[in-house]
């Protein structure tokens, strides 16, 4: 029970960091792409 809870917490934390790591560059990429589309 306690081990499962710890595993869930770690999994949640890792997935949160993972999402953060990919979401920020992805958002920047969209912003850059959007800016370049406006210039055309």
pLDDT at 12: 93
pLDDT at 30: 94
Whole-angstrom CA distances from 28 to 4, 10, 25, 31, 34 are 36, 27, 5, 5, 10
What are the tens digits of pLDDT across the range 5-29?
888 999 999 999 999 998 888 999 9
- The H or E element containing residue 40 is none
Say yes or no to pLDDT of 32 above 90.
yes
């Amino acid at each position: 029970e306690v081990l499962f809870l710890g595993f869930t917490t770690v999994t949640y934390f890792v997935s949160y960091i993972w999402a953060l790591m990919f979401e920020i560059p992805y958002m920047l990429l969209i912003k850059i792409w959007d800016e370049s589309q406006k210039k055309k």
